Amino acid sequence: MTTGVNLSAILHHPRLEDVVVLGGEVSQQKVAGCVAARDIAATVTEVAQKVLVVLYSEDRDDWRLDNLLHRAHQHGAVAVLIEGHAPLNPSTTALAELLRTPILGASDPFAAQRGIEGLIHEPRAHTADLVLAVVTAAQQAGPTLEDAVHRIGQAIARPLFLVDTQDVLVRWNEDISTTALHSAVATHASDDRRARWVLHDDGQVFITCPVRSGTISAWLVAVLPERLDAEIEALSAALTTAVAPIGQRLATARLALERDALYRTTLLGEIIEGRISEVTRRRALDLGWRLDGWHTGIYIGLDDELDITASRPHVVSAFDDAGMKATVVERGQGWAVWLTAEHELSAKDVQLQATAIRRAHRALGRAVSVYVGVGRLHFGPEGVGHSLGEAADAASLARQRPASGRFLHVDRLGLAQLLLAWTRTDTFQPAAMSLLEPLTAELIETLTTYLDSESSVNETAAILGVHRNTVASRITRIQRALDVDLSVADDRLALHLACRAISTTPT
Amino acid sequence: MELRAEDVDALVLGAALLGSGGGGTTIEVGTLLRRKLGAGSVVLHSPSDLAGAFVVPVGVIGATTVLTEKLPNGQEFAAAVHALCQWADIEPEALMASEAGGVNGLTALVAALELQVPFIDADLMGRAFPRLDQLTWAVDSDHLFPIALAGTSGQIVIIDRAPARTIEGLARAALRELGGWAAAAFPPRPAADLASSAILGSISRAIALGSALKELPEAASPRAVESATGARVLGAGRVFDVSRHRVADGTFGHGHISLRDRDADSIIRIECQNEYLLASVNGRLEAQAPDILCLLERRKLVPIEVDQVRAGDELIALHLSGPSWWWASPARRKRVDPTAFGIPTLLSEERE
């Protein structure tokens, strides 16, 4: 015993495009099948929960159409389907509304009947048809992702999207928002290979199917205007079929992207290290990089694990939107960016440029968590490396400073802060840790305060709120434990740096 | 029963009811009849009163809309009857109506007063139909000749020895030359024949219906109309759909009129040609010709003719039983049921 399928869902199906509502309201009526009648005078039997399909019916003004509607309604029919799309007269329309039995029109009632029956009784056949259509579409599609998604979308006759965690990679239309697509895939773990579906509040059904290709996680998403189980089943199978051809194109595209990224990174490496040969210059020129002129280096660091190669276009467009033509290269867990001017910038221009960079920073910061450092102006091919070096230093300081908006311009930094920044490198910090390891937390605090107070025992005692003898005895214990002499300037400097480094280490 | 001037109002209403939306407007001929009656009266004889007499049915044929613009003077009927009796070589001993519905429910009375001959309370339709081959005499025996037509300018046309359908065609052709309408006199028959070949008592039925309607107060409820007239109310409400189509020859248009009864939550749809022919309520067949259907203006309770209905009118739809003569055999019924007018219908056994 079937519980039936929503009439409106059936009518939304692309295979039943020919069927239109001529009168009455189509809503959630459940349909269990069709019964054919030769003409409007035919006897009506066993139409309960079914669509009565009238194969020949031309005259809309024949009152027997009303009578047929009455009889169909009496026997529990869901709707009456007649031939043609010509409008009904107002009386018949009003009657269809009154009896809550809609009248549908189809130029080919036979085909409409087959379509409705197929969706209800032969979902397997429907699935097979759709899978075959997807396979054919994928075979005929060109090498690009866009072409493949669009052709497969045409084959399933539903909006189809390719979505990753960040973005909509291929869009079918603008009707479905990026947020809706992302919330649909958010519930779908990428290691779950099966197609799944979610019903949205507005009745739309999102069918998602993961596309895994190496490290990439993406999803194919098809959208139905309304729930129709037969179509959900068929589309799930069709999307699963589409994963292979889409994944293959995704991998190819990704390979090209990574090849380019590697090439850029290597070339930038050569420039930063100052190994700027003729070949390097020519390659840089081929990529549209400018090595001559005055450069401002910018380093954009990422807090989160993010695919920096895939996200590079966002950085480029953030700078574009802020009115700057920037060169962007993947570097470390972030991007090295530089701006080039033909002439040395005035102080005011530097100010303006900094404002523009902040704007780009803000735009990027809306999507992901980033910190930004900006170097000074440097001239010539070597200048690129110099400015980027300063930018990287400034960036590592910026990372620790939410107060500065995680944005630092090297111009604003004192020399001491820069020196200090160097102590926060990955090699220095473990060294500082091991140097101070023999000390208790209390002793480290005493040592730090003592060194900060210019080796004054009295000052240290005052700050810590202990007796000066206590401070003196602690200092003696520290010198013994570390086997150092705090009167030696080198030892004092090393310990002071170590104390500062661990005191700022995020725990 | 006698008809006096004060009964004419009831007859005007009742003949319009029997017209089933057609048969022409009765008001103008009512005025003429009232004038001819003066202080006198006409006796409505039953056929048995005048068993041995030859009876001539009379009436108007043609466009009844032209009739109201070009009113009869009464002498057209005398001219038609005289021409017929001269041709048939008999004396007219009594008159009867050819058609009880619409204008012809009154014209034969005008003619009887004009010719000063007795009047028999009977007709050949029991209501209004548009064609001559829908007279009872044309249906059972197909013997409707000779007939005489008298035009408004004194022209006389005699049609003889033709089947009823041919007579209908010839008469229509003649009407074009006679000025749109003509007085018609039909073949004389012994009054004794009428019991089986005519609808008896149809004029008094019209008067009874009309006076019942006339007695009702303005804006009486549909239920009150039902009990006063013995008719069945199909519904009452506002007209929301009026559709009229011209057929190829441009003569009879067909279409439908639909009203919505808000109280009963129903839609009453009436199929029509010159008359209201079939009524369905919510798609269910409720009544069809030869039964009589009427639309009454809801407040004044006057019958509205087919071509006067407009969208937005507030009407009451009534079903009156038609003459049982027509229902007596399938052959009779088929001549006047909706299919005879090109409107497909269901056989009564298919009614649910």
Indicate whether B166 and B102 sit together in one domain: yes
CB contact under 8 Å between A70 and B280, yes or no, is yes
CATH for the stretch A290-419: 3.30.70.2730
Measured at the alpha carbon of residue B245, what is the angle toward residues B239 and B246, in degrees to the nearest 5?
140
Q: A39 at the B interface (CB within 8 A)? A: no
CATH 3.30.70.2730 in chain A is located at 290-419
Residue B258 near residue B268, CB atoms below 8 Å: yes
Asked whether A127 and A233 are in contact (CB, 8 A), the reply is: yes
> What is the rounded distance in angstroms from the CA atom of residue B36 to the CA atom of residue B41?
9
Per residue, what are the HEC states of B46-57? CHHHHCCCEEEE
CATH 1.10.10.10 segments of chain A: 428-503
**Which residues of chain B make contact with A94, given a CB cutoff of 8 A?**
240-241, 258, 260, 267
Do B132 and B267 fall within a single domain? no
The pLDDT of residue B351 is 42
Whether residue B171 is predicted with pLDDT greater than 50 in this model: the reply is yes
pLDDT in tens, A17-40: 899 999 999 877 889 899 999 999
Segment B23-51 shows an average pLDDT of 93
Local structure of A59: helix, strand or coil: coil
Mean pLDDT value across chain A: 86
A 73-92 residues with CB < 8 A to B: 73-74, 89-91
Q: What backbone phi and psi angles, to 5 degrees, belong to B183? A: -80, 135
Q: Which residues of B touch A68 (CB under 8 A)?
A: 283
- One domain, residues B88 and B143: yes
pLDDT value of position B349: 41
Residues B56 and B127 reside in one and the same domain: yes
Nearest to B271 by CA among B250, B293, B252: B293
* All residues at 6 or more sequence positions from A329 whose CB lies less than 8 Å from its CB, including other chains: A264, A265, A267, A268, A335, A336, A337
**Nearest CB to A63: which of B266, B271, B352?**
B271
State whether residue A63 sits within 8 Å of chain B by CB.
Answer: yes
- Residue pLDDT, tens place only, A127-165: 888 888 899 998 898 888 889 998 998 888 888 999 887
- The whole-chain average pLDDT of chain B stands at 92
The pLDDT, as a whole number, for residue A369 is: 84
* Domain total of chain B: 2
Whether residue B260 and residue A94 make contact (CB cut-off 8 A), yes or no, is yes
* Chain A interface includes B208 (CB < 8 A): no
**Residue of higher predicted confidence among B32 and A121:** B32
> What topology does CATH give the domain A5-121?
3.40.1390
Q: With respect to residue B270, please indicate whether it lies within any of the assigned structural domains.
A: yes
Final residue of a domain: which of B167, B202, B237?
B202
Residue B228 and residue B224: Cα distance in Å, rounded? Answer: 6
The answer to whether residues B37 and B108 belong to one domain is: yes
CA angle at B329 for the pair B325 and B332, rounded to the nearest 5°: 70
Same-domain check for residues B148 and B10: yes
A67 → chain B, closest CA residue = B283
**B238 and B139 inside one domain:** no
Q: Which of chain A's residues have a Cβ under 8 Å away from the Cβ of B256?
A: 61, 63, 89, 91
Same domain? B171 vs B54: yes
CATH 3.30.450.40 in chain A is located at 123-253
pLDDT at site A506: 44
Using a CB–CB cutoff of 8 Å, tell me whether A336 touches chain B: no
How far the first Cα of chain A sits from its last, in Å, is: 64
* The token pair that represents B272 in the structure block: 């029509």
Structure tokens given for A243: 């994963």
Q: Which amino acid is at B198?
A: A
The shortest CB-CB distance from B280 to any of A61, A66, A74 is to A66
A91 contacts on B by Cβ (under 8 Å): 240-241, 243, 256, 258, 267, 269
Measure B238 CA to nearest chain A CA, in Å.
12
Q: Please report, for the domain that includes residue B33, its CATH number.
A: 3.40.1610.10
Q: Which domain holds residue B85?
A: 2-202
In a domain, B250, yes or no: yes
| Minimum CA–CA partner of B265 in chain A | A98
Chain B interface test: which of A66, A68, A88, A101 (most B C-beta within 10 Å):
A66
What is the per-residue pLDDT across B68-111, written as a single tens digit (0 to 9) for each?
777 777 789 999 999 999 999 998 899 999 999 999 999 999 99
Same domain, B14 and B47: yes
Which phi and psi (to 5°) does residue A461 adopt?
A: -60, -40
Model confidence at A42: pLDDT above 60: yes
- Asked whether residue B346 is assigned to any structural domain, the reply reads no
B283/A95 CB distance under 8 A? yes
Q: Which of A294, A298, A332 is nearest to A315 (CA)?
A: A298
CATH number, domain with residue B299? 2.40.390
Helices A457-464 and A441-452: crossing angle in degrees, nearest 10, is 130
Q: Is residue B48 part of a domain?
A: yes
Nearest residue of A to residue B244, measured between CA atoms: A61
Interface test with B, best of A43, A69, A95 (most B CBs within 10 A): A95
B46: in domain: yes
Residues B194 and B259 both lie in one domain: no
B313 interfaces chain A, CB cutoff of 8 Å:
no
CB atoms A95 and B267 under 8 Å = yes
pLDDT value, residue A1: 38
Above 60 in pLDDT, residue B223?
yes
* pTM of the predicted protein model: 0.68
Contact (CB<8Å) A91/B269: yes
pLDDT in tens, B286-339: 999 999 999 999 999 999 999 899 999 999 999 999 999 999 999 999 999 999
A69 and chain B in contact, CB less than 8 A? yes
Q: Is A42 helix (H, G, I), strand (E, B) or coil?
A: coil
- Structure confidence at residue B227 (pLDDT): 94
Q: Per-residue pLDDT for A425 more than 80?
A: no
Residue B134 inside a domain? The answer is: yes
In CATH terms, the superfamily for domain A123-253 is GAF domain (3.30.450.40)
Q: Is the ipTM of this complex over 0.85?
A: yes
3-class SS of residue B254: strand
More confident: A495 or B156: B156
Residues B61 and B179 in one domain: yes
Same domain, B156 and B251: no
Answer for the pair A80, A104: CB distance below 8 angstroms, yes or no: yes
Q: Is B143 on the interface with A (CB under 8 A)?
A: no
Residue A52 structure tokens: 């009565």
**Domain A428-503 - what CATH class?**
mainly alpha
The total number of residues written for chain A in this structure: 507
CA B83 to chain centre: 24
pLDDT band for B352, please (50, 70, 90 cuts): very low
H or E element: which one contains A457? helix A457-464
The whole-number average pLDDT for the span B262-285 is: 95
Q: Does A101 touch chain B (CB under 8 A)?
A: no
